[in-house]
Amino acid sequence: MIKEFSPRKGILYGETTVLITGENIGFEGQHRYNISFCDLGTCIKCSALRNNSSLDYIKCKTGKSDKPRTMTHLKVVIDDLTVLTLNRTFEYLTDPTFNNSNKSQKVQQSGGATFTINGEGFNNVGEITVERVDKPCDVPEDTSAVCVTPPKLKNQPNSQTVIVKFDGLTLPVTIEYVDDPTFQKFEGIYEYDKESAIQIKGKNISNGARREDYSIHIGLDGSCLITDINMQCITCFPPKSVPRTNNSDVDMVYVLVYVGNIKIYIGDLQYKVDVNILGITVGILAAALVTAVVIGMLAVVVFKKKKKKAIKEFKMELMTREEIIRKASREEFPDAQMNIRDIKSDLVTARVPFLDYQTFILHLLFPNQDNMSNPLLHDLEISDERNPIIRSAMEKFEILLSNKLFLKSLIQTLDRPNMLTMQEKVHFSSVLSISMLGNMRLLFDLVHCLLEDMIRSSTKKQQKVLFRRFDSIVLRLMVNWLQIGLFRHLTSHSGMQLFMLYKAVQTITEMGPIDALTGNSKNTIAEENLLKMRIEHQNLTLQIDLNGNSDQHYPVKVLDCDTISQVKQKCCAQIYKNKPASEIPHNDELYLGTQFLSQLQNIYASRLQMF
């Protein structure tokens, strides 16, 4: 079975070596294969090469083609019996061309130097080789090939012709061999000061080799940066840090010059070491190390002492606070439990004071407006002459309000920047929501359509903060739709639990002191509203006689640190409990009798004596 072949292209002249890989396709014997590349009506033979007894591949050389073409499949016939095919394309591309500017190259007799061939179409060639050179030429781009020169043939003139093979094409290149360069070794060990350049002297250095052909190795992994080269001298800069070496002296490295096939040992390079600077550096580092150790030890000792003291103080404060909390919990838990039991019993008899649907809607959509003065609840005063005109106009406007396209265009127009203020947008969305209460399905479809357009038109950055600020009519309509739709669920399911939670939090909060000015309290679930001042207080139970009716008294629990306004608020909450907030009078509407005020005055006077 054939799996693959490479390369997938070659020149028209042929002789491109193709490697065919597969399973169990390699057999000994040169004349057992009939290999060809075929298209619909033409096959070009690929001559099999001598096999190396491998079962996994076959090599062959392509035949010539009279024009560029693309062969559609490979066909391999073994022993005229077994036929294997592979549907892969092989392209015949144009032959490379060569520039007439390829002049004779001057190279050294030992070979190994590089020369460049210019032309076009070199990427079409499978392999470019030079006779008597094992390494193929490099093709950095389609118009040039960099090849290595072979050594000079003995007993032959200096001017020789070397054949360069471009698959089947051959190019004769004239090479002028010149004498190899010679180099002088260092006289003894070369002392290097890590700053200046070194010079390697010799003869015929730049004759027959370019600057790119030279490389100077310093030690095992260092290289000398060549800055200048001529016939008698090479100037280069070794690395400032000492490269790795296999010498016993770590500051001594060898110098080797490579050019073509030549490798010459020049000598050893000794890196100078400034003893004074090294001693000063070692002394400073040692002193700094000792100082750092001493300071570190002192810091550790001081830190441990402070840590132990802080831990001890923290434990004492924690124990004190835990004891205070336990004591307060023991004292307040029975009262809290009794209050919650009273709240539950009141709810069983009086139920949760839910608002009616109309009041609920008006409170949500017009929170800062008196319901009694809301113009939506009153008919307009219209004269008899204008009544038919206005009625007709309102009927037409009502038809428009049932058109989703008109509502969408109206809202998107008013939602443009600088069209309405924020207050006007809120009022418009509330009025529009009121007008669509009879068709909640239309309101849902409108909100859904507007939200889709808003999300689609916003950028990724805007989408991240889209629902954080409700500063558009679309978002206000969405909020109104959600609030209106929650009324039935609140009254039938979750309203009871929310009211119980509210009353429980209110009860626990009012059991501790509350700052009448800031609203901060001792018992709070919000850390920013915590009353940090410690206030001693006592619980009092007042018997309230409403309107001089001595037959019925209302027990009200207050604190001896409460203000008059706070006492009034708690009295109103006890007298009018389980009633809607709209029916509870304001604190200023509740007047305390003379006897009641004298009792409060005595309580406050006793507290002042305590201070």
| pLDDT for position 449 | 92
Domain presence at residue 337? no
Please state the domain count of the chain.
Answer: 5
So what's the pLDDT on residue 188? Answer: 85
Judgement on whether residues 89 and 132 belong to the same structural domain of the protein: no
The answer on 189 and 154 residing in a single domain is: no
pLDDT in tens, 436-492: 888 889 989 999 999 898 888 888 887 777 777 778 889 999 999 998 888 888 888
- Tell me, yes or no, whether 367 and 477 share the same domain: yes
Please report the DSSP string for 397-430 in residue order: HHHHHT-HHHHHHHHHHHTSTTSS-HHHHHHHHH
Tell the residue number behind the tokens 């997938």, with chain if given: 8
Residue that is last in its domain, among 251, 271, 291: 271
Say what the pLDDT of residue 379 is: 66
Torsion of Cα atoms, 28 then 85 then 93 then 118, to 10°:
-40
pLDDT value of residue 590: 76
Q: Are 96 and 124 in contact (CB under 8 A)?
A: yes
Residue 390 in domain: yes
Name which of 181, 187, 182 is nearest 269 in CA terms.
187
361 and 457 housed in the same domain: yes
| Residues 232, 156 share a domain | no
* One domain, residues 479 and 378: yes
Choose the final residue of a domain: 66, 93, 120: 93
Same domain, residue pair 22 and 104: no
Q: Is residue 136 part of a domain?
A: yes
Look at residue 32 in the predicted model and tell me its pLDDT.
81
Question: What CATH number is given to the structural domain containing 157?
Answer: 2.60.40.10
Whether residue 401 sits in one domain with residue 426: yes
pLDDT at 605: 61
Q: What are the Cα distances from residue 594, in Å, to 572, 573, 591, 599, 600?
A: 18, 21, 10, 9, 10
89 within some domain? yes
In a domain, 309, yes or no: no
Cβ neighbours of 31 (radius 10 Å): 7
Looking at residue 497, its pLDDT comes to 84
Domain-embedded: residue 418: yes
pLDDT in tens, 29-38: 767 888 899 9
Q: What values do phi and psi take at 454, rounded to 5?
A: -65, -45
414 in a domain, yes or no?
Answer: yes
Its domain, for residue 13, covers 2-93
Tell me, yes or no, whether 205 and 143 share the same domain: no
- Say what the pLDDT of residue 507 is: 81
Same domain, 77 and 139: no
**Do the beta carbons of residue 450 and residue 472 sit within 8 Å?**
no
**Within the chain, which residues score under 70 in pLDDT?**
30, 51-53, 100-103, 274-279, 332, 346-350, 371-373, 377-381, 548-551, 578, 580-582, 593-611
Residue 185: exposed, middle, or buried by beta-carbon count in 10 A (0-12, 13-18, 19+)?
middle
Whether 110 and 12 share a structural domain: no
Domain boundary among 243, 271, 299: 271
Q: What is the CATH number of the domain that holds 579?
A: 3.10.20.90
Residue 310 lies in a domain: no
Half-sphere exposure (Cβ direction) of 486: Cα atoms closer than 13 Å: 11
**Cα angle for residues 309, 315, 321 (degrees, 5° grid):** 135
Co-location of 77 and 140 in the same domain: no
